[in-house]
Amino acid sequence: MNAGKRPAIIGGIIASVVIAVFAVSMNTNIFEQSKTTQNPIQNTTGATKLKVAASFFPLYEFARNVGGDKAQVYSFLPIGNEPHSWEPSIQQIEELKGTKLFIYNGGGMEAYISKFNSSGEFSDMTFVKATEGITLLKADAAEDDKEILAQGGMDPHVWNDPILAEQEVTNIKNAMEKADPANAQYYEDNASAYIAKLAALDNNIKTGLSNCKKDTFVSFHNAFNYFSNRYGVHDVWITGIAPEADVPPQDMQRVIQIAKDKDVKVIFSEALVDPRLANTLAGEVGAQVLVLNPLEGINETDQKAGKTYLDKWYENLHNLRTALECQ
């Protein structure tokens, strides 16, 4: 950002003004006009729906299930993107107008949140940290991983533990009840029904992983600490706390050695990353590549097929059972 480069405001070129003002300062009220002209969102009975933005896929899924037809929930992160280090565009920030609740994970997943909180632009929007009350683990970030450390150095991937996901659902439900007390019982019922599905997933994972020949799997990035702690398995990851990180040769060598020692026959890739690194590693150790989705997003094919957080976790469980050679 460079204040000296702020262009002059030219009448009619609203988009460039918005971009320039945002780029220079989040303290300027760029939303004032649009807030007053927005149309309320109506549901079929004519009542106004609660407008909710969720920062990325699992939170979108949780919010959508709790909000039902009383809330209009959308994913702030567009489908097909990987949320680590993603930054919203000006248009995407514009789309937040009228939003009552902004649900985010915290723990460093949404680096842009601090800008929102300090901007003063979102005084009508309540920020809901879904990990509130959850004890986060320290990220296994290298000391030179400045991006992770700048966000507090915590491991944000709680949603991959269905029990901790239940806590996120409860936090979302509490926020919806507060924002829309007239429908409190509705949100309560929806949250209970969804938590029952998460409890069933937890039971299925426990049963599915109860009789396995192996206890170690190789994931693409370090998104399964909470999961592994919950179910007593060991996760060796290739790229660290975020999937885009570079992998130094010594780290690659370390993973290859562990994979060979543990006789690993499956290397996991992800739906939203380049599979070449996983393919290379699999070639080195003589393993096949399967997908273990960290549930940070889904690809377009899955979106079109209407795949949910629960669908994708059951697919993960299937592939984990293959990797761990479970009965």
Binding site for Zn ion (CB under 5 A): 223
Q: Give 49 or 221: the residue with its C-beta nearer to Zn ion.
A: 221
What's the token pair of residue 251?
């780290």
Q: Minimum distance between the CB of residue 319 and Zn ion, rounded to whole angstroms?
A: 17
Task: Please report how the helices 249-261 and 276-285 are oriented relative to each other, as an axis angle in degrees rounded to 10.
Answer: 50
Q: Give 116 or 237: the residue with its C-beta nearer to Zn ion.
A: 237
Q: Using CB atoms, what's the residue nearest to Zn ion?
A: 223
Q: Minimum distance between the CB of residue 150 and Zn ion, rounded to whole angstroms?
A: 16
User: How many angstroms separate the CA atoms of 97 and 21, rounded?
Assistant: 17
φ and ψ of 185, to 5 deg: -65, -35
Strand partners, 218: 236, 267
| Rg of the chain over all Cα atoms, to the nearest angstrom | 21
Q: Give 208 or 240: the residue with its C-beta nearer to Zn ion.
A: 240
Q: Give 28 or 81: the residue with its C-beta nearer to Zn ion.
A: 81
Question: Which of 105, 137, 127 shows the shortest CA–CA distance to 227?
Answer: 137
Q: Give 124 or 244: the residue with its C-beta nearer to Zn ion.
A: 244
What SS3 string covers 95-129?
A: CCCCCCEEEECCCCCCCCHHHHHHHCCCCCCEEEE
Q: Minimum distance between the CB of residue 78 and Zn ion, rounded to whole angstroms?
A: 17
Q: Minimum distance between the CB of residue 90 and Zn ion, rounded to whole angstroms?
A: 25
Q: Minimum distance between the CB of residue 32 and Zn ion, rounded to whole angstroms?
A: 36
Q: Give 77 or 223: the residue with its C-beta nearer to Zn ion.
A: 223
Alpha helices in 242-305 (DSSP H): 249-261, 276-285, 300-304
Angle at 291 between CA 288 and CA 292, to 5 degrees: 120
Q: Could you tell me the CA-to-CA distances from 90 to 6, 18, 87, 258 in Å, in that order?
A: 16, 8, 10, 44
* Residue 228 near residue 235, CB atoms below 8 Å: yes
Q: List, in order, residues 6 or more apart from 4 with CB less than 8 Å away.
A: none
Q: Minimum distance between the CB of residue 242 and Zn ion, rounded to whole angstroms?
A: 6
Q: Give 17 or 277: the residue with its C-beta nearer to Zn ion.
A: 277
Q: Minimum distance between the CB of residue 160 and Zn ion, rounded to whole angstroms?
A: 9
